[in-house]
Homo-oligomer: A and B are copies of this chain.
Amino acid sequence: MLDNLRNYSVILGSASPRRNELLSGLGIDFNVQTIDVEETYPDTLRGIRIPMYLAEKKADAFADQVSETHLLITADTVVLLNNQVLGKPANREDAKRMLKQLSGNTHQVITGVCISTAYRRKTFHTVSEVRFANLLEEEIEYYLEHFKPFDKAGSYGIQEWIGYIGVEQITGSFYNVMGLPVQRLYCELKKW
């Protein structure tokens, strides 16, 4: 499948082991390369524009390294609750605060994805809705203690214990909540 990409060397520009696993699931060969990018964005950006901007910013960092034979995939995922971005927590207390906010509420998870080759760029986004059950304080504490989700937007991983016990419903793509909307990405790559 995706034979149209056979002349490209695909690069995943992400240090996320989850994105690595998800892209592997599409059955294509790729290498991982990472460049540190400060995940800041203009104050004027809202909602879906934020992860799309950051996916492009991550792609920009590779500008010197993408030759005519490369196809680069970069992505950024944000959690939105009542239109406010929940980023990566600053510390354990901050993570606890976020999980209390998510408890009993529905939030959006948005991943922006940027596909770049030397002469072309396509950026898109995918939105999933996630409804959390009411979480007990002891459940939040147990999760923080055992899973330390301090590198995760919104302070949780849906594929971890908290996702098993706490997520009542999702609407949209599950894999998007994990960090990469693989079905949409596959469609975009198929018509590249």
Contacts and interface: CB of A to CB of B under 8 A. Distances in A.
Interface stretch (A62-70, A73-81, A105-113, A165-173): A165-173
B161 A27 contact: yes
B133 A183 contact: yes
A39 interface: no
A41 interface: no
A182 interface: yes
A168 B171 CA distance: 10
Interface in A167-192: 167-175, 182-183, 186-187
Q: Which of A167, A169, A174, A186 has the most CB of B within 10 A?
A: A174
Given A1-B139, A139-B1, A183 B165 contact: yes
Interface residues of A, number: 28
Interface in A131-146: 133, 138-139, 142, 146
A25 interface: yes
A85 interface: no
A168 B174 CA distance: 10
Given A133-B187, A139-B1, A173-B169, A26 B164 contact: yes
Given A1-B165, A164-B186, A167-B183, 16 more contacts: A1-B139, A1-B142, A22-B164, A26-B161, A26-B164, A26-B165, A133-B183, A133-B187, A166-B183, A169-B171, A169-B172, A170-B170, A170-B173, A170-B174, A171-B171, A174-B174
16 contacts: A1-B139, A1-B142, A25-B164, A26-B165, A27-B161, A165-B182, A165-B183, A165-B186, A167-B173, A167-B183, A168-B173, A168-B183, A169-B172, A170-B172, A171-B171, A174-B174
